[in-house]
Amino acid sequence: MDSRLLDALRNAPSLDLYELSLALNQMLADPRRILDVRRHLHLGAQVMYFDHRRGTLAPGRVLQLQATSATVQDSATHTQWKLPYAAIVADPAQRAEQAPPMPQRPVDVAAFKLGDTVSFSDKHLRERIGTVTRINTKSCSLLCDGEQWRVSPGLLRKIIDL
C-alpha cells in the first residue's frame, strides 16, 4: 500500500475514518466483487491470500467455498483460514495487471416483457431460472420453481430458447 495514503489516513479525523470504513465494507460485500473472485476458484485451487499476521501474500489451497468467504489452507503451516473473497488472489499474475472494470451500462426494464425466461444468481450464488410475471420500474417479479421472486432488472439475464 502507498505510504503517502497511509500517512494521510493516520492524520484523518476519526469520523472520516469511520465513514471510510463503512464505505469500504459495503464495497467489499458487493456481490459483483465476490463473483469476480469466486468465478476463478474451485476446490483444490492453488491461490495466494493476504496473511494479516505477516502483512503479505501467502500461498494456500482452497478447501471450501461459501457464499461470502472461502476456507483456505496455508501451504507452509497447513493452518486453515476462513477468509473473505477480497483477501484471495486466484491468479497472482492477475493482481499485477488488473484492468479497471468496464462501467456497466444500466439495464433498461423495457428489455424484458411478460413471459420472458430469465436467469439470475440469488444471495447464495445459486443460478435461478424463472419467468417474468410482472414488470415495475425498479424490479421484475419472477416465478422460479413455484416461488415468487422480486429482482432488479440489472441482475437479470435473458435466456433464449433455440
Reported as a single tens digit per residue, the pLDDT across 106-136 is 667 788 899 999 988 887 777 889 999 999 9
Which grid cell sits at 108? 433498461
- Helix extents (H) in 2-97: 3-10, 14-28, 31-38, 92-96
C-alpha distances in Å from residue 114, one per residue of 117, 130, 141, 157: 9, 11, 10, 14
Reported as a single tens digit per residue, the pLDDT across 79-112 is 999 999 999 998 655 444 444 555 555 667 788 8
Nearest of 42, 79, 40, 47 to residue 61 by alpha carbon: 47
Cα angle vertex 39, ends 144, 73, to 5°?
120
Instruction: Give Cα 43 distance to the centre of its chain.
Output: 17
- Helix extents (H) in 11-162: 14-28, 31-38, 92-96
Contact 153, 143 (CB under 8 A): no
Distance between CA 17 and CA 64 in Å, rounded?
33
pTM beyond cutoff 0.75:
no
